[in-house]
Structure 1
Amino acid sequence: MASKYKKLTDKHLSCAICTGVFTHPATLQCNHTFCKSCLLKYTKTRPEAIQAKSIPCPSCRQPTKVAISDSPLEEWVSQLKPSHVIQGLIDDFVPSTQAVEDINICNVCKTQGKTTPATSWCSICDDVFCDGCLKMHNMMPMSRDHEVVDLSDPTKVRTRRCFMCKIHRDEKVKLFCKDCKQAICTICCCIKHRACKDVETIESMTPLVKEHLTNKTEELRINMENTKNYIDLRKSTIQNIRSNGHKVKDHIRKSKETLVEVILKKEKLLLVDVDEFCNNHTQKLQADITLLENELQVCQQQYESTATAVTSNCEMDMYAVYESMGEASTDNRDMDNMPSPGRVVLKHDMDKLSKAVDELQLGEVEVVHDIGDRHSPPVQHHTIDCKVDDDTCDPFLHDITVVIVDDIKVTVVADCDNNKLKIYYSSNSKSFEKHLPLSDYPWQIATLSGSQIAVSIPDRSEIVTVDITPDPVLLSTLKTNKQYCALACLGPSQLVAGTYNDTVDILDMAGNLLRSINTGVIGSPDYIHVTRNNNLILCNEEVHSLVSVTNEGDDVFTYTPTGDRTLICPQGITTTKTGDILLVDETSNSVVQLTESGQFVRYVLQEQDGLQSPNGICLDSDGLLYVTSDRYVKVFKFC
């Protein structure tokens, strides 16, 4: 038991500056806690903080503004809000540290100079006894009816401890003042709480306090999970930046191989630019990780103390934590609003390089942002005209996807009016177009693995699978029992498909029905998209809403905007790497960006950006946005 108390003080009740138990602990705005005297000494060594009228955090450097900046420096720290939770733990546990070490020694024998091991504890006397002294204790008329607990069960010992008043040590706590949010004895009630209007018995308040602490424990657990997610996301972003940097370097080297030796010097300059970008951004993200790990440690401390109070069933512990907790703010950070880092791309013109060797530029290192960076505006990158000579009518492009085949980016478009899949790809500065005739009009494209896709053909009750090699090759035609329109890939061996008759089905790769799910508002989706969490997002042009459910049919959110943002004819759906949702509204000629939880962010594209009757939408691995517009595919980058 002594080791547990030592662990509590060493890990949770010690100041990071002086390494001793907190003396007058104060918590900064960043939630880090230090001794007030230690903060004062530290602030005196930071003239820039004194000039800024703030107290810097020794752990994360985040400044905490002082309330009265005109007061002397010595009073700045005294203005900080004290940490009641930590002070309460110190009051309860630290003074009794020495007693904890001797808790197994009979107190009666100890007065006689003996060190007899104690075996029992009296909850009324709050004393420990050996077997012999316990017999004497039980024979005395004043103590024979006391409740005695075996010391071998420490949980029961803590549960049976009397809840005594901190001011009147001999009085039990029997009341709770709601006005002051304090557990009190009857003497406290008569003397200090006479003006209070709302006082309840401790018995009636205990279930409410336990419920509050249980909810607080859950909030802390969620905060811990969110913080871990923030850390994981930043670590993943660092890997993506490094991978992106290596990819750009490869392009630079491939360009270099086709040029003369004189360009090697310029190649090195560009590589330095790439390294500088990667290093700068990874350092910033690593600093974020350090900050979040510190916050996670504080959150874990609060979680452990609160959870211990709840699970111990000890009223004294619960009220100690409850009274000291105050109205602690929960984590309101929105992971959806985390800025997305830019990526490096290489802009080069091989013809220009060949013609002007002396003034040769291998390329330019440019930071191109992802659409997840919500402050980045779109700029049209290029346009694909999907009208070909053997088309019987103007194309109606219902869906689009992009796959990578042998390092070649391939754009696949479903042309409903001409009953074709049209494939566009470029290699060595040349563009090529292929097409694959289908039995009827294609509806939605589901990207499978690698270069393979699946396409729904509802009027034929078919789902075809195609391999892009990069030429399209028809692999199989699955005959289904229903006319499936919307189609998406749920996993390596499952598809999710929507029909005309108000069902959403989970299919295997042979087209067999595995199960059906209820999606609530939308029964017959025009489009289905599967998120990174394997949730489903659905829309229908007749239902002015966007619905998200789990793959078991449980509600996630429903987006039904009103006013100027009302959805008129929602169509294509895709998501960014950070989870943001992009939704096409065909009638309003716009693309809407939402958070992963279904909150409006902005209009990414509108009619003034050249959109006309958009339907399909997708993002490629480089963050370029593809949107169908009449007979064209318009591609946008974000600067």
Structure 2
Amino acid sequence: MATAKKLTENHLTCVICSEVFTAPATLQCNHTFCKSCLLKYINTQPEAVQAKSIPCPSCRQLTKVTNPDSPVEEWVSQLKPSHVMQGLMDDFGPGTKTVEEHVCSVCTKQGKTTPATSWCSVCDVVYCEGCLQLHNVMPLLCDHEVAHLSDHTKTKVKRRFMCQVHRDKPIELFCKDCKRAICTICCSVKHRACKDVDTIESMTPLVKEQLTSKIETLGINIAAANNILTWRKSKIQHVKSNSQTLKDQVMKTRETVMRAILRKEKQLLHDIDKATDKQLHELQADIKSQEIELRMYQQQYEFTANAVTSNCEVDMYAVYESMGETSTDNRDTDSRPTPGRVAFTQNLDKLSKAVDELQLGEVQVIHDVSDPGSSPVLHHTIDCKEDGDGKDPLVRDVTVLTVDGIKVTVVADYDNNRLKTYYTSNFKSFHNQLLLSNYPWQIAKLCEHQIAVSVPDSKEIVIVNVTPGPVLLSTIKTSKDYYVLACLSPSQLAAGGYGQSHCVDILDMTGRRLRSINTGVIGSPDYIHVTRNNNLLVSAGGVTSLVCVTSEGDAVFTYTPTGDRALTCPLGITTTSTGDILLVDYDSHKVIQLTQSGQFVRDVLTQQDGLEYPRGVCLDGDGLLCVTSERYVKIFKFCAAEF
């Protein structure tokens, strides 16, 4: 019962209606559907009617119809289920009963419930002992193959392979031209013009072999589909988490803008207070001066009035004579300048326009570079030439970190012995640099705020904290001049250099060599990268190959294309979230995409994308691709291709 249920659920269910097949029809691709479901589907596909073919709803493969000029309903009605599907439907489909429930089919028609003891594989009917005797004496039925139903297992025996057209004739032949199993009558009537007909016995091993191969292919496809489903489901959580992160960034940006507005408001209020205080101070000084002058006039007034009313001519003439020395101009206006009025001038049109043009950011869908339908678009370019550089920068490597929510681009400037960081905060761009003892070569990301940098000419590996400026944390002295560097684990580094006898050394964080890994054809690697499976990808400009080995040194693959795809100078390497490999080819000005197993996919970037002599490459957390190009870092985003 469990087997029958499993067969029904997994093999006898239409993928369109999710119900057990009703009048099943099998297409040339061997996918089976209900005829009614298939008819409804075809009616929604006008291009199918125009092409005179039936498209498979599952794989889109076309099935040619025998009579294209007939109505679509006849196209579907002429389709038959495969022999395998028909057998399953007969044995386990709707209306079938378990053997325990079988009673004699002949007796049932007579209203009796006699237990069945035998089954005719040709008639596909069960009989009791009495009805079986009648069956066996009939001339047309006596040669049928009859099997007894086991009292112990009650298991139905294998059904004979009988012709669907001539029900009493066994299938004995196979027409290779029509790819159909047929009986002798079908062969003589309908397949006379066919050139290649063989016996079922001869064809069965070949058919079984092909079906076995098909099973293996389907098994691989099922595993791949399950992996894709698992990845898609995990992506849902990532999308939700990313959405919340982006919302937090928008709100943080809004808060930053509000802080800037509040700063401007505070400054304007301060300016008003300052101008008002100045005005008040001037007015108060004028009032004090005016009060002094008023008291002087009052004193002169009293002195003069007393002289006039005293009847003393001496005093009167004394006052009169003093009037010539003191100004007594009559004035009813103040000659002092009036303090200016504090005013707040606002341009509402300009303010409204500024608010309208205010950009907190941009929401866009960034496609993954692994999507073969995506196309690169230059997002922006970082010029690594800075004040204090003695030479034009030569950026050998690049990586991107996220430090306290700030995206920081870190570059190794080979010619200026510097490690440089670039980032944007509060709408302002910043850059910092750290002077090293010698030429930096490759950057290994240890975590989101810490990197290791190889300095081969000094036989050093420096550990740097990114805060987001670069701060030297420690220096590891090495016994060899290691050029390439990658993080294998939190406690181990993979490092290699010139003359290392085709090997990469695994080091601990003190620089002590733990073991060596054979890198095959590459003796002096220029770049190294650790995949998500902890495999090592190694390249060298002088070797036209990309080598992949396990962390124990077992070979995985060596990519050595020829012809137009031949590598000229492979350098920087990185991998995508899906495991695809991105490889820089310096002399051909390309970034090449390979599958995880080293199969060519496409040229992601070329010289037509503005790429000149690339070296280092990395992907940031947002799917942007960063590539070094002489003194520049060029950052590309990927959008859906327009057709």
Instruction: Please indicate the TM-score interval, normalised by the length of the shorter structure.
Output: 0.5 to 0.7
TM-superposed CA distance for 1:503, in Å, is 0.8
Task: Give me the identity figure in percent.
Answer: 51
Q: Where in structure 2 are the equivalents of 1:221-620 lying within 5 Å?
A: 221-259=219-257, 356-357=353-354, 359-363=356-360, 365-367=362-364, 369-370=366-367, 372=369, 373=371, 374-389=373-388, 391-500=389-498, 501-552=501-552, 553-556=554-557, 558-563=559-564, 565-596=565-596, 597-606=598-607, 609-620=609-620
- Helix, strand or coil for the counterpart of 1:524? coil
Distance verdict in 2 for CA 1:603–1:20, change over 3 Å: closer
Paired position in structure 1 for 2:35: 36
Contact 2:401 2:407 in 1 (8 A): yes
Name the SS for the 2:522 alignment partner: coil
CA pair 536-57 structure 1, distance change in 2 beyond 3 A: same
* 1:6-25 deviation digits (Å, cap 9, x = unpaired): 44235532456594544242
C-alpha distance in structure 2 between counterparts of 1:570 and 1:471, whole Å: 31
Aligned position for 1:4: 3
Please state how far the C-alpha of 1:127 moved relative to its aligned partner: 13
Deviation at 1:99, TM superposition (A): 5.4
Superposed displacement of residue 574, structure 1: 2.0
Secondary structure of residue in 1 paired with 2:70? coil
Do the aligned residues in 2 keep the contact of 1:25 with 1:86 (CA within 8 Å)? Answer: no
Letter in 2 for 1:604: L
Change (3 A) 1:578 1:34: same
Shift of 1:631: 2.5
CA distance in 2, matches of 1:618, 1:221: 35
Query: RMSD of the alignment, in Å?
Result: 5.2
Measure the CA separation in 2 of the matches of 1:636 and 1:354: 34
Q: 1:359 to 1:90 in 2, by over 3 A?
A: closer
The residue identity in structure 1 corresponding to 2:540 is N
Letter in 2 for 1:620: D
State the shift of 1:543 in Å: 1.1
How far off its partner does 1:507 sit?
4.1
Question: CA shift at 1:80, angstroms?
Answer: 5.0
Q: Distance in 2 between matches of 1:63 and 1:211?
A: 23
Residues of 2 paired with 1:623 and 1:593: CA distance?
Answer: 15
Sort the Cα spacing of 1:358 and 1:474 in 2 relative to 1 into closer, same or farther, 3 A.
closer
Change (3 A) 1:106 1:222: same
Check whether the contact 1:353–1:362 (CA below 8 A) recurs between aligned residues: no
The normalised TM-score by structure 2 is: 0.64
8 Å Cα contact 1:164-1:170 kept in structure 2? no
Instruction: Give the whole-Å Cα distance in 1 for the aligned partners of 2:599 and 2:195.
Output: 45
Q: 1:556 to 1:88 in 2, by over 3 A?
A: farther
**Cα shift at 1:403:** 0.7
Mapped partners of 1:609, 1:50: distance in 2: 40
Helix, strand or coil at the partner of 1:401: strand
Q: Which amino acid aligns with 1:166?
A: M
Could you say which residue in structure 2 is the equivalent of 1:298? none
Amino acid at match of 2:624: L
Tell me if structure 1 keeps the 8 A contact 2:423–2:430.
yes
**Distance between the aligned counterparts of 1:515 and 1:96, measured in 2?**
68
Counterparts of 1:529 and 1:546, CA distance in 2: 11
Please give the per-residue CA displacement for 1:356-398, whole angstroms capped at 9, x wherever unaligned. Answer: 4554534464425346254434225132224441x44433321
Larger Rg computed on CA atoms: 2
SS in 2 for 1:448: strand
TM-superposed deviation, 1:579: 3.9
Task: Provide the secondary structure at the position in 2 that maps to 1:441.
Answer: coil
Flag structure 1 segments of 5+ consecutive residues without an equivalent: 129-146, 264-351
CA distance in 2 between partners of 1:60 and 1:458 (Å): 57
After TM superposition, give the deviation of residue 521 of structure 1 in Å.
3.4
Deviations 1:568-610 (A, max 9, x none): 212112233344433222223333344544314135141x655
Structure number with greater CO (CA < 8 Å, separation at least 6) is 1
Matched residue, 1:625? 625
Whether contact under 8 Å (1:496, 1:506) holds in the other structure is yes
Name the aligned partner's letter for residue 472 of structure 2. Answer: L
Partner residue of 2:301?
none
Letter in 2 for 1:425: Y
Q: Provide the aligned length of Structure 1 versus Structure 2.
A: 522
- Give the distance between the partners of 1:548 and 1:178, measured in 2 at CA: 45
CA–CA separation in structure 1 for the residues paired with 2:375 and 2:405: 27
Distance 1:432 1:259 in 2: 18
Aligned equivalents of 1:4, 1:489: Cα separation in 2: 51
* Alignment correspondent of 2:88: 89
| Pair 181,163 (structure 1): closer, same or farther in 2 beyond 3 Å | farther
Q: Distance in 2 between matches of 1:615 and 1:449?
A: 23
Where 1:254 maps in the other structure, the secondary structure is: helix
Render the CA deviation track for 1:76-102: whole Å, top value 9, x for unaligned. Answer: 314657445422422455499335334
